[in-house]
Structure formats: structure tokens, C-alpha cells
């Protein structure tokens, strides 16, 4: 497995080994001991799957308390995936890392606790899988508006399809301090 660092420490791009032949391909998408050896020693407790159409942005979501580390991957299609550092006191607070994930590049993104996460669907449809390091806790659910002008995320979509809930989120700067994890 190849590990590619991003502009933010601990947010990692992972490139699993893919064995291809005339029948298709095989790849191992998670093996606890191997990932722990890479520094990803998370007890993943929940797997989620979403299917979205082109131009959809989901996010930017996080939980506090009950922060969720995430290991994300596209099973069909292509997305632009983003992790935003929301840890108060972090030297990269408000910074973001983005990467294209697709069913053809087989990349995964590891997002530690303390980061908001979102993605934009580039292909006609995307099937998106993510492993979570804590259970979904509705009372801890938090979010940032996808187009927060302070974050300057270079989304590939200017007029995305978003949910009513995601449209109601505010800017990171306006979030109450107790809604944010500490570095």
C-alpha cells in the first residue's frame, strides 16, 4: 500500500495494491493490522454507503463530541473529497485537503477525528463508502456551509445539489467554540 501525505498532517491518501487481469481486479480495502502499521489504529464501528448524482455536494459534516475518524472510498464513479481541520488551536485550523477519489484510481482517504468532511460528485453517479470510528450520534452532529468563503474550497461545482439541512449550516468562524474539538 502506498501512503501519500496531504497538505494537512494525518489526513492521508492511501493507494491499495490492485491485482488486475482479464477478469477484472481484486483489492483488499481494509485489513486492521496493516492499517494500524500505517498509523491508522482506529476501531471502526460503523460502515456507511451513499449513492449520489452528478453535482451533489454532501457536507461539510462532523461530530463533536463523539468525533468520527473516517476511511472513505468510491466504489463506483468519481468524487472530489474534502477534509477541513476544525480543531481549535490546530496550526492548520480552517485548512483543507482535497483529492479526487474514483473507482478507477482506487484511492482511499483517511480523515482523523476533528475534521469536517464533504464530497462533490463529478461523475453521473457515485457510490461512496465510509468506515467510521464512532457511531452516528444525532445530538453531536455538526456542519459547516459547503461554500464558506473563509475556507476557499475549490469545489468543481458552482451550483451544487445540496440537502436542505446542509444549506442551513453556517460558517466555521461563526460556530460556537463548544461545538468544535480541541487540537
Tell me the catalytic residues: 61, 130
Distances (CA, A) of 23 to 16, 19, 20: 19, 10, 8
- CA-to-CA distance for 97 and 110, rounded, in angstroms? 11
Strand order in the sheet with 78-85: 96-102, 78-85, 115-121, 57-63, 141-143
- Alpha carbon distance, N-terminus to C-terminus of the chain: 28
DSSP state of 68: -
Beta bridge partners of 3: 14
Amino acid at each position: 500500500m502506498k501512503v501519500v501525505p496531504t497538505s494537512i498532517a494525518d489526513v492521508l491518501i492511501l493507494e491499495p495494491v490492485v491485482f488486475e487481469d482479464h477478469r477484472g481486479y481484486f483489492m483488499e480495502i481494509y485489513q486492521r493490522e496493516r492499517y494500524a502499521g500505517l498509523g491508522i489504529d482506529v476501531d471502526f464501528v460503523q460502515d456507511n454507503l451513499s449513492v449520489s448524482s452528478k453535482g451533489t455536494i454532501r457536507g461539510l459534516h462532523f461530530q463533536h463530541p463523539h468525533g468520527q475518524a473516517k476511511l472513505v472510498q468510491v466504489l463506483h464513479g468519481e468524487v472530489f473529497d474534502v477534509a477541513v481541520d476544525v480543531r481549535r488551536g490546530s496550526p492548520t485550523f480552517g485548512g483543507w485537503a482535497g483529492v479526487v477519489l474514483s473507482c478507477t484510481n482506487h484511492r482511499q482517504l483517511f480523515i482523523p477525528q476533528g475534521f469536517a468532511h464533504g464530497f462533490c460528485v463529478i461523475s453521473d453517479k457515485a457510490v461512496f463508502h465510509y468506515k467510521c470510528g464512532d457511531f452516528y450520534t444525532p445530538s453531536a452532529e455538526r456542519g459547516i456551509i459547503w461554500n464558506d468563503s473563509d475556507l476557499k474550497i475549490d469545489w468543481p461545482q458552482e451550483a451544487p445539489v445540496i440537502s436542505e439541512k446542509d444549506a442551513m449550516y453556517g460558517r466555521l468562524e461563526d460556530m460556537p467554540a463548544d461545538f468544535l474539538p480541541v487540537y
